[in-house]
Amino acid sequence: MGLVPFVVLRIVQQDWPTAILNVTAVLFTSSLFLHVLLTKNTRHAKAGLAFLTILVMVATIHLKGANNVAWVYPALSTTFYLLPPVIAATVSLVSLSIVVVLIYESVNAVFLLTFLISAAATLAFLYAFSSRTQKQALFLEKLATSDSLTEVGNRRSLEEKLLEITQRIGRAPEQTSSLIIFDIDHFKRINDTHGHGCGDIVLRDFAKAIESRIRATDYLYRIGGEEFVLVLENTSLFKASSLAKELTKAIEHAKWSKADLSITTSAGVAQYNGNESSYQWLERADNALYKAKQNGRNQSVSCEHSMSN
């Protein structure tokens, strides 16, 4: 919408090259907004809009001359807003080099030096601000999606992952995904006997023991107390059950911070059936976990077979 008045102005002035440039920018920007509206995906739109901003800025200076170098500053700001800091800095340096080449012969040394100093200062500030903002955003995202004690995912991030999986399998039913719920057996007894500090250490060590035995594409979450959920994408019930058995045995024979500690875990396994919500999927695994506890603990149970694995 900000470009529309310039389109009208250029048409009135019969400045057809610039008018065509502005019309192209308006149409391309509109198509990007339409893409975001339909797909809900902003990643490609950000890159496209950043490229368009730089292109229009360089083309305007090429067509209208050095008097339009003021467009460099909003273009740099937009680029750093839309792109990661390192990529934005690279794109900005390249575009500034092109601008210098375009205006070099038409301006005096004082004008060129003033432009270079102001543009470099703007770029440095934008890079510092963008880098700091990105670090803060990553930090806040980690706080919102991870468990502070064990540093694995929390319930919120689990819900997001399960929703993502159920929606994907809804579009591609041939895919499979399973999950395992773990519950540390008699954890209250550990807290009562050795103290809550020891219990916290056990939770951290338990999470590390699980993470050290799973794939990089598997995701572990702590959903409260001594309960953990392991999400296994592209994994059948048979493979998930085998892994659950392996992990329960590994926990049973693991060494802990206190020599007299003996830790075991019970597990419930469920494969997504393609026709349920993420909460129903999780509930079936939880029911299997309950059966594992009823059967004597220190074992895994498949929710579909209702028997120890």
Helices (H), ranges, the chain? 4-12, 16-39, 43-64, 72-82, 85-103, 109-145, 155-171, 187-194, 196-211, 237-252, 278-294
Q: Given a cut of 70, is residue 42 above it in pLDDT?
A: yes
User: Which tens digit of pLDDT belongs to each residue from 66-84?
Assistant: 999 999 999 999 999 999 9
- Residue 146 confidence (pLDDT) above 90: yes
Query: Which of 160, 226, 252, 276 does the annotation list as catalytic?
Result: 226
- For domain 155-308, the CATH architecture is 2-Layer Sandwich (3.30)
pLDDT at 39: 83
Cβ partners under 8 Å of residue 111, min gap 6: 66
DSSP string, 210-244: HHTTS-TT-EEEEEETTEEEEEEET--HHHHHHHH
Asked if 65 and 103 count as a contact pair (C-beta separation under 8 A), the reply is yes
- Cα separation, 143 vs 156, in Å, equals 11
pLDDT tens-digit map of 223-245: 999 999 999 999 999 999 999 99
Q: Is the entire prediction scored with pTM above 0.85? A: no
Reference 130, options 97, 72, 91; nearest CA is 91
Whether 159 sits among the annotated catalytic residues: the reply is no
Boundaries of every domain in the chain: 42-145, 155-308
Q: Is the pLDDT of residue 305 over 80?
A: no
